[in-house]
Amino acid sequence: MDPFTHTLVGLTAAKAGLERLSPLATTVCVLAANSPDSDVIVGLTTDRWNYLHHHRGITHSIVGVIGLVLVVPTLVWLIECGWARLRHRRAKPRYRGLLLASAIATATHPLMDWTNNYGVRPFLPWSGRWFYGDLVFIVDPYILLLAGGAAFLATSNRWPKIVLWALLGATFLSLSFVVGGRRDPGLEGAGVARIALLAGVVVLVTIRVVGVARARERIIAASALALVFFYWSGLAVAHGSALNAATLIANHSASQFNERVLRVVAMPTLANPTRWFCVFETDQAIYRFSVKLGTGSATDSLQVVDGYHTDAPEAVERYAKPTDQAAALTALASQDRRARILLDFARFPVAHVPEQDCVSQTIVQFSDLRYTKPGSGRGTFSLNVQVECASK
């Protein structure tokens, strides 16, 4: 999930009762809820390919989380003890309380990251296998509203905090307009997300002005977290239906080419639990398409098209796996360091050679079909590799 969501969940968890464990428990909850993303330091000190390789790595694993559970409260406790000594007063935090708050808040991070289609690798360093929940889009406006709303009602008791919340709300709304201009898979619901955020802000401001939440902040925060779990449960049901529909489409489409279906996934889209972005792999190709629940037969009016040359939104796009000369060029390009990292990360790696009949050099296009298709050569999830044809 995004840093805003992790921060708001940590703050809401504190306001739901963890803050009572010790002074500075709220600070620990916010820091701990974000601590697994400390791997961002790799992206700041090296290139984007190293970041892709290490992001959601050891700091998101069971071993890493246990370490962070200990590190965050220990640092906060040591800093407070040092500051208290300088001020000639007794340190206030209770270490056991900080440790318990850190354990709960830190655990929310990999759990929430697992729910989306980016996935986590919980068994590093022993196993690099990815696990995917495929329930929630990478940014979910409803979770933002639940966690953010509870945190807002619990903390907006002074004008500086109200101004800070106003800036945060404006940031969310601005981002929704930026996202609305993109055509990435799964972003069709940007307009719905914008409306949900606007409506949610109006409701929250009204509740704050009327004073309904006064003296009920802890109950509201706990209820918001409970609602997140109920929301996940509802998405799990919708995901099951989408996966069944996707499987029907996969079998129907693969039969047209006498192919064998190897795996099928249904992934969430932004702000729309009824629309799912689906990908399936056969022994000869990888396909992608969208499923909308509640629209009749899943295989009605299906059309399989060449995914490299169309932007048809409702078509089943087919990306053939490289064969013969294209396979040889792809194998050569796969030796590139950047390609190895991308292929290790990609859940549905696709390779395409636009011009196979070359004299000296050509381009091999790689992408992870979850996020983009071959040809862009830009961004974290696609890559163009130049290869020497004479070496094939």
Check whether 348 has a pLDDT greater than 70: yes
Compute the average pLDDT of residues 188-198: 79
Q: Which long-range contacts (CB under 8 A, 24 or more apart) does 385-388 make?
A: 385/333, 385/336, 385/338, 385/339, 386/361, 386/362, 387/329, 387/332, 387/333, 387/361, 387/362, 387/363, 388/332, 388/360, 388/361
* Distance between CA atoms of residues 36 and 39, nearest Å: 7
Compute the average pLDDT of residues 184-202: 78
Do the domain assignments include residue 9? yes
Burial of 249 (0-12, 13-18, 19+ CB in 10 A): buried
Higher pLDDT, 145 or 90: 145
- The predicted structure's pLDDT at residue 280: 97
Q: Which residues of 113-124 are buried (b: 16+ CB within 10 A; e: fewer)?
A: bbbbbbbbbbeb
Do the domain assignments include residue 234? no
- The predicted structure's pLDDT at residue 309: 73
- The predicted structure's pLDDT at residue 186: 62
- The predicted structure's pLDDT at residue 295: 72
Tell me, what DSSP letter sits at residue 355?
Answer: -
User: Average model confidence (pLDDT) for the chain?
Assistant: 89
Compute the average pLDDT of residues 258-287: 95
pLDDT tens profile 38-65: 998 887 778 889 999 999 999 999 999 9
Residue pair 349/334 in contact (Cβ under 8 Å)? The answer is: no
pLDDT band at 187 (very low <50, low <70, confident <90, very high): low
pLDDT tens profile 282-339: 999 999 999 999 876 555 656 788 777 766 666 899 999 999 889 999 999 999 999 9
Closest CA relative to residue 14, chosen from 80, 91, 105? 105
Compute the average pLDDT of residues 26-42: 95
Higher pLDDT, 158 or 220: 220
Do the domain assignments include residue 341? yes
Do the domain assignments include residue 316? no
pLDDT tens profile 274-297: 999 999 999 999 999 999 998 765
3-state class (DSSP) for residue 319: strand
pLDDT tens profile 146-176: 999 999 999 988 888 888 888 887 777 666 6
Please measure the distance between the N-terminal and C-terminal CA atoms of the chain and give it in whole angstroms: 42
- The predicted structure's pLDDT at residue 42: 85
Check whether 24 has a pLDDT greater than 80: yes
- The predicted structure's pLDDT at residue 298: 59
The answer, as to whether pTM is greater than 0.85, is: yes
Last residue of a domain, one of 56, 86, 121: 121
Total number of domains constituting the chain: 2
Instruction: Name the β-bridge partners of 265.
Output: 279
Do the domain assignments include residue 26? yes
Query: Considering the chain, what percentage of its residues have pLDDT values greater than 90?
Result: 66
Residue pair 205/120 in contact (Cβ under 8 Å)? The answer is: no
Do the domain assignments include residue 92? yes
Query: Which positions ≥6 away from 235 have C-beta within 8 Å?
Result: 135, 136, 268, 273
Last residue of a domain, one of 91, 121, 151: 121
Compute the average pLDDT of residues 87-93: 82
Last residue of a domain, one of 104, 121, 138: 121
92-101, 155-164, 214-223: range with lowest mean pLDDT: 155-164
Check whether 343 has a pLDDT greater than 90: yes
Higher pLDDT, 135 or 379: 135
- The predicted structure's pLDDT at residue 300: 61
Check whether 217 has a pLDDT greater than 70: yes
Query: Considering the chain, what percentage of its residues have pLDDT values greater than 70?
Result: 90
Residue reference for tokens 């808040």:
105
Do the domain assignments include residue 17? yes
Do the domain assignments include residue 238? no
Order the strands of the 349-352 sheet from edge to edge. Answer: 349-352, 361-368, 382-388
pLDDT band at 392 (very low <50, low <70, confident <90, very high): very low
| Domain residue limits at 39 | 1-121
* Distance between CA atoms of residues 316 and 245, nearest Å: 13
